[in-house]
Chain A
Amino acid sequence: MELLDRYVKEVGKHLSGKNRADIETELRSTLQDMLEDRSQKTGRPLDDRMVLDVLKSYGDPKAVAATYQPEHYLIGPKLYPLFLLVLKIVAIVLSVMTAIEIGTGLGTGSIAGAGAAAAIGKILLDFLQGLMAAFGNIVFVFAVLDRVLPDERVKLEEPWDPAVLMKEPDADTVRLWEPVIAILGSFAALVVLNFYPQIIAINFNPFTNDAASIPLLSAAFFTYLPWINLILVLTILLNVVLLRLGHQNNWTRSGDIIIKAIGLFLALAMLRGPSLVGLTAQTLQAWRMDPAAASTLASLFNQIFIVALVITVIADAVDIAKDVYHMVLRSDKPATLRFQ
């Protein structure tokens, strides 16, 4: 019976802890029944040969254990279509960016001559690396979402009433893709700003010995990084809560107001503080740009940042006002809708 015990233990090795002892006991009992049955049928006493035959007919321990395991997904069917869509969008965006980079290089002459093939090869290699990194990050975020999103919130075959098409969209309803996109965007921003800030730069003559990369963001911008990180982390947490709830309530709206208020004050502080643009007329002139053109370009970048900050302030203020409106004027309305 030593062989039988070894077999049962081998099956047990591949089972999860919860039911392992129970399944092992039942398996041992079944194998003993099978052996007893076979011994009676053949009229022979039990021996190792018979045990080997029975174990062989029962099958590979790994396969036996697998029959007790539920199917495991890294990304389950409920999120898979959205995962695929995000992946396709990211792949298209990266492909277009790569095509533009190659086209610009060929057009401006920075990709030319004997080094052209090597330069294009480097761009394609960067594209592949970017694609792999994006794929890894997207898989990670979706795998986490798949585990925090309760099954009952997103059913694949929920009863659907066509009458919903006649109703006005409800402000409390959270569409599945909204928090998913917010989480993905915030996660990507966290990764880039904290670990790869050098990629936010303008590259001059990238495929020549004269190559230079000028950071787009100034040192002053990175003094605000702890606050930006706080906003991004709070945004991820709020959207995970929204994913789990499936609808807005006064708590999530309060959370949104807090995040938007921090963003609004941060944008105001940035507007009053030193320039956030690392690209100055001096750095551009250092790369043989005409002084007038360098000054215009640097000024243009500064204006773009200022306009973006003003838009952020206005958008945050409008969002806060909308949240307050929904909290105060619609407080008597029960929030019952779920994901659409």
Chain B
Amino acid sequence: MANTTEELRQNTILELRRGMIVLAVLNQLCEEQYGYSLIKLLADKGFEIDQGTLYPLLRRLEAQGLLLSNWRVEGDRPRRYYVISAQGEEILPQLIAEYRQMVNVMDGILK
């Protein structure tokens, strides 16, 4: 059965956001955060992301060597903190530059 217009819109927005989530997460993890604090931090800046997307992404970025993580116990609660790795720090400025160039190009196209 064909998708409804609303489903198509939602799926396309998800596609658009997918690449940007990585950039937003890497950028915000220049300072150490645990998962839930990162969700709130991004939400405060207007970037809503659900847990089901964020946690697997954090693990994938860590497996790729772009993030580091460590467990810490705060009170009675263990928390896994994530921070950008040296390799992540190296590519982040390039990603930001690429993103800005894309925005410029897209602005030109969408005029």
Contact = CB atoms under 8 A, between A and B. Distances in A.
A26 B52 contact: no
B59 A68 contact: yes
B52 A29 contact: no
B56 to A, nearest CB: 5
Given A34-B36, A68-B59, A29 B53 contact: no
A199 interface: no
19 contacts: A23-B55, A25-B71, A25-B80, A26-B35, A26-B55, A29-B35, A29-B77, A29-B78, A29-B79, A29-B80, A30-B51, A32-B77, A33-B36, A37-B40, A58-B51, A59-B52, A67-B52, A67-B55, A67-B56
Contacts of B53: 67
Nearest to A33: B36
Contacts of A29: 34-36, 77-80
A22 B35 CA distance: 13
Given A29-B35, A29-B79, A68-B55, 17 more contacts: A23-B55, A25-B78, A25-B80, A26-B55, A27-B55, A29-B34, A29-B77, A29-B78, A30-B51, A30-B55, A33-B36, A33-B77, A58-B51, A63-B52, A64-B52, A67-B56, A68-B59
A34 B56 CA distance: 18
User: Do most interface residues of chain A lie in helix, strand or loop, or is the interface mixed?
Assistant: helix
User: Do most interface residues of chain B lie in helix, strand or loop, or is the interface mixed?
Assistant: helix
Report the contact-size class of chain A (Cβ under 8 Å from the partner).
10 to 19
Interface string B23-53: 0000000000011110010000000000111
Q: From A23, A30, A58, name the one whose CB has the most chain B CB atoms within 10 angstroms.
A: A30
A34 B78 CA distance: 14
Interface string A58-77: 11000110011000000000
A30 B52 contact: no
Contacts of A59: 52
Report the contact-size class of chain B (Cβ under 8 Å from the partner).
10 to 19
A30 B35 contact: yes
A290 B95 CA distance: 84
Nearest to A68: B56
Contacts of B55: 23, 26-27, 30, 67-68
Interface in B59-104: 59, 71, 77-80
Contacts of B56: 67-68
Interface in A7-33: 19, 22-23, 25-27, 29-30, 32-33
Contacts of A27: 55
B47 to A, nearest CB: 18
A293 B31 CA distance: 91
Contacts of A22: 80
B111 to A, nearest CB: 33
A30 B52 CA distance: 11
A26 B77 contact: no
Contacts of A26: 35, 55, 80
A40 B57 CA distance: 28
